[in-house]
Amino acid sequence: MHFMSTYLTEAANQLRWWLRLPPTNLIDRGDHVRFQYALYLMIHQVATVLYGMNGLPETMYFPSRLKGARNRLNSLSRAPAHAGDTLWTLATERDSAKAWVAAAGLMRDTLALLNESSSDHDALDREFQEGSFKPDQSRDPVELYALAAEIAERIRLLDGTSAVALGGSLGRGYADRQSDIDLLVFGPGIPREDDRHRAISAWPAVTCGPLIEPACDSVVLDGAMVHIRYWTRQTVEDMLAAFPGPPRPPEQRILAEELQCCQSLVDPDGRLGEWKAALDALPAGLVKAVIGEAQKRLPLFRDHWRKAQDADDRIHLYCLAIQAVNDLLIALYMRNGRFLSTPRWTHKNVGVFDVGPPDMEGRLSPLVDGITDRKDETARWQALEGLWGELVGL
């Protein structure tokens, strides 16, 4: 029971975050693949919460095991009315704005049911009540860069901090007026949670928070949403030390991805620069191993796809499509010497890669759209395998 309740709590927290920080900015940016990935996550997180509330096991599986979700959710004793039908809408709707409206309504209804069954309020509720903060979504990126540099100077005063980097869209150079500030903090250890809370709370212009989690803090500062992620130097060193050995994908792929793309803000001993240099020259065996791992899963996805297609199970098909496309992107990025954890800013990246199938962005979008009919199911998988064939043939 404890295992299941842990996943239920984590999924519920994620649903609250979606409502507090809606991914509608992805629609505005044209980051279509990432928005569809967000919908896929919402589908699984809603299912995890509702199944958990009804004593049924569910969590994020890869490949997805979300079979027959429409009928199962519609028949649950404790669930929003027609919850399965709403998930079906998310998996079949091609208008992103309409899909978000349906998703937001279902998440609110699901959380309302969950709150009825418990008087406890988790850390996210205590720190960030819905509607209690509204980050300024019209900040000039130049102002955000300057604010990030100021925050980095404050963070370096925390005991256990030796380097600070700028990640996210700002670190990649893709920032716009809807961007958050994402900071990466490295040191011999992770600063104590109470020390972080005390220090961040004392910063000027804090308008909401901070929310302190084991290795990540969030705060609204001077109207900007700031996320601070902590890593130990040893974690980075261990990851890099494993690269020349028997080739295998790194366990901390998101760390490798962020290090490749980040900008240094505080690096007194130059170690952050050394890490980035090491990630710019990946061993050929490692590149091959990452691509091979993703490619090896293709037959497994194909088997799941055919079974879901026979049942016309579009919720399951949609989840499988998003996951399979992410595997394809992992291979594409690695073919170009870049790590990828989840599809972020693909519409900015794939068009400038040196290696890849032609018109990759235009061919990706239909693969992650809502699934409309049985003909679409067949054509989608054929297109996906076709892209894989072109990529491995390059």
- Are the CB atoms for 155 and 183 separated by under 8 Å? yes
- Are the CB atoms for 358 and 49 separated by under 8 Å? no
Q: Are strands 206-212 and 163-167 parallel, antiparallel or unpaired?
A: unpaired
Global pTM reads: 0.90
- Are the CB atoms for 19 and 108 separated by under 8 Å? yes
The whole-number pLDDT of residue 118 equals 52
Q: Are strands 163-167 and 216-221 parallel, antiparallel or unpaired?
A: unpaired
Which residue type occupies 117? S
β-sheet bridge partners, residue 231? 186
Which residue type occupies 251? E
- Are the CB atoms for 51 and 58 separated by under 8 Å? yes
- Are the CB atoms for 84 and 73 separated by under 8 Å? yes
Smallest CA-to-CA distance from 316 within 15, 61, 74, 81 is with 61
> How far apart are the C-alpha atoms of 105 and 38, rounded to whole Å?
15
Tokens standing for 225? Answer: 């949403």
Tokens standing for 227? Answer: 């996320």
Enumerate residues 6+ apart whose C-beta is below 8 A from 195.
158, 159
- Are the CB atoms for 207 and 220 separated by under 8 Å? yes
Preceding amide of 210 cis, omega within 30: yes
The whole-number pLDDT of residue 35 equals 96
> How far apart are the C-alpha atoms of 110 and 13, rounded to whole Å?
12
Give the residues of the chain that fall short of pLDDT 50. 1-4, 119-131
Containing H/E element for 150? Answer: helix 141-155
Q: Are strands 163-167 and 263-266 parallel, antiparallel or unpaired?
A: antiparallel
> How far apart are the C-alpha atoms of 205 and 218, rounded to whole Å?
14
Which residue type occupies 14? Q
Smallest CA-to-CA distance from 70 within 52, 53, 46, 94 is with 46
DSSP letter for 319, please: H
The alpha carbons of the chain give a radius of gyration, in whole angstroms, of 21
The whole-number pLDDT of residue 207 equals 85
Largest Cα separation within the chain, whole Å, is 60
Tokens standing for 252? Answer: 């901390």
Preceding amide of 214 cis, omega within 30: no
Q: Are strands 216-221 and 224-232 parallel, antiparallel or unpaired?
A: antiparallel
Residue 38: exposed, middle, or buried by beta-carbon count in 10 A (0-12, 13-18, 19+)?
buried
> How far apart are the C-alpha atoms of 179 and 140, rounded to whole Å?
9
The whole-number pLDDT of residue 127 equals 45
Q: Are strands 181-187 and 224-232 parallel, antiparallel or unpaired?
A: parallel
Query: How many Å from the N-terminal Cα to the C-terminal Cα in the chain?
Result: 49
